[in-house]
Amino acid sequence: MSGKRRLTDEEHALWQGVTRSVAELRRRRSKALPPEADDAPPGDAPKPARQAKSRTSATPAPPATPPPPVAVLDRRLKQRIARGTHAIDARIDLHGMTQVEAHAALARFLRNSQAKGARIVLVITGKGGAPRGDLGEERGVLKRQVPMWLKGSEFRSAVIGFETAGIAHGGEGALYVRLRKARRE
């Protein structure tokens, strides 16, 4: 006996249904092979309009490599900053600002600090606190929002990483932010 078994009629019908429902993947043209060597099915004609458009597009190409995602600061760097052996190049206090005001101020601050060559900045958000009065107003909004902003794509070109500040610099109500070097254009 060969070890292979024949499919039953039911299995064969099921397999035929599966193979009919599967679509072939589009293959990329190899740069080494001429277009005639492409293994595209005979009924599919190439789409010259799409190819021509992508080659002559006036839109600028995206940057070759996007900045890496934001990371936490190195433990030793954070310790040196907290102890005062590594300087904080600039600081901003966002206390009392609305989200819109704070976002705009933070964007300006990070841009200007990066342009001046700052490497470590302190962003003070405040800790928030218990809700005031009967309205149950949400407190500590900036404490939650600023880290999300710093992780977002808008600030990725400026921010390498950030970490909660040491007690001497505001603790849970502040962030050490490490900036990328400004690009020379």
125 vs 97: CA distance, rounded Å = 9
Q: What is the Cα Rg of the chain in Å?
A: 29
Q: Please give the average per-residue pLDDT across 66-94, as a whole number.
A: 80
Domains and their CATH numbers in the chain: 75-130+138-179 (3.30.1370.110)
pLDDT tens track for 17-53? 877 777 776 666 655 555 444 444 555 555 555 544 4
Q: Report pLDDT digits (tens) over 91-138.
A: 999 988 899 999 999 999 999 999 999 999 999 998 876 555 545 556
Listed residue (114, 102, 132) closest to 179, CA to CA: 114
- Residue 184 banded pLDDT, cuts 50, 70, 90: low
**Percentage of the chain exceeding pLDDT 90:** 14
pLDDT higher at 37 or 179: 179
Pairwise CA distance, residues 125 & 122, whole Å: 10
Q: What angle do CA 111, 116, 121 make, to 5 degrees?
A: 65
